[in-house]
Each structure stands twice: as C-alpha cells, then as structure tokens.
Amino acid sequence: MNKILFIGPPGCGKGTQANILKQYSYVHISSGDILRKEIQDNTKFGLMISEFVSSGGLVPDDLMINRITQKLNHEKFVLDGFPRTIEQAVKLDEFVKFDVVVEFVCNSDIIINRILNRTICPTCNISYNNAGICNVDGAELIRRADDDINKLKKRLSLYDSNIGSLRKFYNMLKIDASLPVHEVSDILLSYLKEHNESIK
C-alpha cells in the first residue's frame, strides 16, 4: 500500500487525511498545492494555468499529466486531487498503478459549510475551521482565493459530472467524509494497517 490515490469533492478532507499519513512516511502530493505554488511563483507554467484555476475550471489534461507525473518519484505517496476526469485517469494509469484508491464521500451542504469557514496555513498548508493562527508554525492563517460560493458551486458541479466514470474505472474504498476527522482517519488507518505491514 505504498501508492495511494485520494478522490473526493473539494472540502471533503483529502488534504487533512494525507497530512495525517505523513507520520507513516507518505509524501503528500496535492495537485491543488502544486498549481497554486506555480501561480504564486509566477512561473511560465503558472501563467499558463492561472485563468483556469481562478475561474474554478480544469487545467488542460496534457499540462496536468506532465506536471503530476514529475512528482511521483517517491517510494510512498498519497496523490490528492488528480485525476478529476476519466480521460485523466486513463492517461495517468499509463504511468502509475495505485495500490488503493480512496473515495471520500460527503454531501454538498457539509462541504459548502466547511469551505466557507476554511482557513489555511500559507506555510504548511494545514486547514482549519475559522481559526486565526496555525498550531504548527504560528503563521497567520489565510483564506484561499478559490474558496467563494460561486467558484465552489462550479467545482462541485464539475466533480459530480465526472465521479460516475471514475467509480467505474477504479475499484474504490469508500469512506464517509462527513464523520469527524479522527473517525475518518481511524477507518483509513485500519484498512491500511490490515493490508500493509509497514504501518503499525
């Protein structure tokens, strides 16, 4: 269970669970964090994708596949936020076979409430619920630019229109992401420990 894929709507807790798995030597590869860093650093790639990201749309497949596969050079990793379409999944499958694909299931009302109250640390990317200071490094928390209701509804609509095809493509472990963080983590870790001797 060294290669893990997290799939789920925005705000379902994929990043939070990936951060918990870091203590078991998993590297968290977040497509969203990669894109935001490129835009923040004003790279050539960042300039190419900024319009797609700011509008809540999807970055073209060829650009994303190239960037994501460059990051998959770790022995143990959790990929979060990609693929989002069946076309992306088919292309990604040419580069990597996942040991487990986890789908975090959560209804839209809970997601909207979470995201509209979400603050994040600009240093370590840990998410909080309406907090002001990061517990890890003391940085002042910020709100993500794409965390507004109109962009969120567009992102949720895109997710809903694509998840059916992804469910057919992957054999997914489904977890109820509306549960408290520690309960979601317990379910995930229980499964991984059962199938992976390196996690105790």
Helix (H) or strand (E) holding 190: helix 181-195
Q: Is the pLDDT of residue 27 over 80?
A: yes
Report residue 128's pLDDT band, with 50, 70 and 90 as the boundaries: confident
Report residue 88's pLDDT band, with 50, 70 and 90 as the boundaries: very high
User: CA-based angle 7:11:17, to the nearest 5?
Assistant: 60
Q: Is the pLDDT of residue 198 over 70?
A: no
Q: Which domain holds residue 186?
A: 3-106+163-195
Total domains in the chain come to 1
Domain-embedded: residue 136 = no
Contact 143/119 with Cβ under 8 angstroms?
yes
Average pLDDT over residues 133-162: 83
Tell me if residue 10 falls in helix, strand or coil: coil
Percent of the chain with pLDDT over 70: 95
Beta strands in 126-196 (DSSP E): 127-129, 172-176
Domain-embedded: residue 82 = yes
Domain-embedded: residue 143 = no
CA atoms within 13 A on the CB side of 172: 19
Query: Who's near 145: CB < 8 A, 6+ residues apart?
Result: 54
Domain-embedded: residue 12 = yes
Contact 3/99 with Cβ under 8 angstroms?
yes
Average pLDDT over residues 45-66: 80
Angle between helices 61-71 and 31-40 (to 10 degrees): 100
| Paired tokens of 86 | 């069946």
Domain-embedded: residue 64 = yes
Domain-embedded: residue 129 = no
Which is more confident, 144 or 141?
141
Percent of the chain with pLDDT over 90: 46
CA–CA separation, 70 and 61 (whole Å): 14
Domain-embedded: residue 142 = no
Residue from 2, 9, 199 nearest 106 by CA: 9
Domain-embedded: residue 23 = yes
Q: Is the pLDDT of residue 153 over 70?
A: yes
Biggest CA–CA distance in the chain, Å, is 44
pTM for the model: 0.82
The domain that holds 91 is classified in CATH as 3.40.50.300
Average pLDDT over residues 62-90: 91
Residues 5-19 pLDDT 10s = 999 998 899 999 999
Average pLDDT over residues 163-190: 95
Q: Is the pLDDT of residue 199 over 70?
A: no
